[in-house]
Structure 1
């Protein structure tokens, strides 16, 4: 796949249905942007909707320059260049995101790790030239992945990677974290209602203009069509993040390699799940968790399906769907290929 092709797939993880029945005064302003290696689309309602959407796009462009692994002048690139050498003073926004990323890495016991860049760039799955690395290359990259070796100095507001060859990649958490910034911008411009899609994350700001929740279509992970849906979720004022192996991948010698890397092996993970959707008020949590829970696999479902801070929709290899009780009245399966799991005991 080319880079552009896999991004068009990623944008189809979740599909937002139009408001329908709106008056001319309620027509949305639609805006698009390609940033942080993903497509961003906005649907914004309000008197200053156009200014709000422009402000969001401007801010996201600024954040890319600040945080992208692939922008040479970014603060993340500077931290990576100075790994094993010297601490780098960073912007408050960067520092807070690094703290959140390191804390989540610790809570996930290393399933998620923001210092994954040596491995992710080695595979290059999100680049134009992906490849299957050698065993020696993978082993070397894994030796340079360790969130414990990211030193954050609160007083000096600096970040330091202790070992040369280490590098940070915030791609697994930044897009969800951006939703807090987007919420603030929408509020500043008195936006009535909005929906924004950032790759595999959708943020719903308030309800639709007619007062009803947005309807988000969760993609059928078995289909090659981004418009083929597994189910529909009603949503407002939250972030919905979906992870699946159909998002980003390449094929070499007839073998399909997806982008979700297992830090225990250095290879794309062999999960017994095919899709994980996380619903949460905290965008960074939803973003990072969708990947982490995919890696954790089916045996972990019982430990998080009733969590008070987030809800999930999980599909296993037998096409059974596990849904948090908190979503029972706003999620429906739309495809008879999938069946609702009869309790979490089926995950055993």
Structure 2
């Protein structure tokens, strides 16, 4: 029996095969963090498999309560409420996540920025916009954005947002972090193999008992129902983002929902990107950043990072890749 998990350019699948008879593959779709998480585990019996899945779901819920900017009881909410007022003492887990987010902002020249939650929503991707925002409106909308205004005090374990009105959000890194934590929990509980798919952020570990790897199917950028090639993955993660998953059109031109936090404008030139790395958290953050950076800078950045690869689809449906990723030349147009 095969297990299919939807992912990539409209249709990317992860495929695993039946384990030896002493193992069973158990899978369940669970609503978590406002998304549908597909969790698959290999267990000695079905009952234990479902217990493992519930444990993973509980861990993801724990992370969500920690990082949610909407939960009035979360430390993230308290940080935002005290922007421009005072530092907030937080758990080391949250402090470390914010610290890593700032590091990603630095290596991406601000293309990734958790303070982008501070922006005013001058772009609407719900079909209600009749005119594009003016340059002045766009500029004003990001006046409180800027990761350099996050002040961390490691000794006091506090986080302070310098400007009133500033906010942080983990929308571009939180799912990946939650996936990593759930995977770590399951592995610590001796779950030998599995897949966690958080609507585009995915991680795998282990293999079939035969030693065969999980496979990722890379879909045709034009036809969502055609697989171009298969990539084996082992102890790895992947994240994908589609610029035009939500969009608005003016005078026949599409503007996608991925905005550059440095300019407040929709990104141009790329339609989709997928990033491969060991950490789902890193994949989640980088896939947004490379779309903002564009093809040349995005490829250059990924090529400089060890153990990280990426696939890009440009606005002309051409597929591009980073140096270490092996794809059939026939699919590179």
TM superposition score normalised by structure 2 = 0.85
C-alpha contact 1:14 1:202 (8 A) present in aligned 2: no
| Matches of 1:11 and 1:306, distance apart in 2 | 23
Specify the alignment match of 2:290 in structure 1: 293
**Within-5 A mapping of 1:116-195:** 116-119=116-119, 123=123, 125=125, 134-135=133-134, 136-195=136-195
With 102-111 and 260-269 compared, the bigger mean Cα shift is at 260-269
1:275 to 247, 250, 272: 272
| Matches of 2:73 and 2:111, distance apart in 1 | 29
**What is the deviation of 1:326?**
3.0
Specify the alignment match of 1:263 in structure 2: 261
With 169-178 and 97-106 compared, the bigger mean Cα shift is at 169-178
**Within-5 A mapping of 1:196-345:** 196-223=196-223, 225=224, 227-249=225-247, 256-270=254-268, 272-300=269-297, 301-302=299-300, 304-305=302-303, 307-328=305-326, 331-332=327-328, 339-340=331-332
**What is the deviation of 1:218?**
3.2
Give 3-state SS (helix, strand or coil) of 1:116's partner. Answer: helix
With 58-67 and 294-303 compared, the bigger mean Cα shift is at 294-303
**What is the deviation of 1:107?**
1.6
Partner deviation per Cα, 1:191-219 (whole Å, 9 max, x = no partner): 12101111221101112343211111234
Give 3-state SS (helix, strand or coil) of 1:104's partner. Answer: helix
Runs (5+) with no aligned partner, structure 2: 1-5
- Please tell me the root mean square deviation across aligned C-alpha atoms, in Å: 2.8
Give 3-state SS (helix, strand or coil) of 2:72's partner. Answer: coil
| Matches of 1:230 and 1:72, distance apart in 2 | 46
**What is the deviation of 1:149?**
0.4
Q: Report the number of matched residues.
A: 322
C-alpha contact 1:205 1:238 (8 A) present in aligned 2: yes
Specify the alignment match of 2:114 in structure 1: 114
| Matches of 1:163 and 1:237, distance apart in 2 | 41
Specify the alignment match of 2:92 in structure 1: 92
With 102-111 and 32-41 compared, the bigger mean Cα shift is at 32-41
With 64-73 and 232-241 compared, the bigger mean Cα shift is at 64-73
**What is the deviation of 1:276?**
1.7
**What is the deviation of 1:24?**
5.3
TM superposition score normalised by structure 1 = 0.82
Give 3-state SS (helix, strand or coil) of 2:274's partner. Answer: strand
Partner deviation per Cα, 1:275-317 (whole Å, 9 max, x = no partner): 2211111222211111111221122224533642311222233
1:72 maps onto 2:72 in alignment: yes
Give 3-state SS (helix, strand or coil) of 1:28's partner. Answer: strand
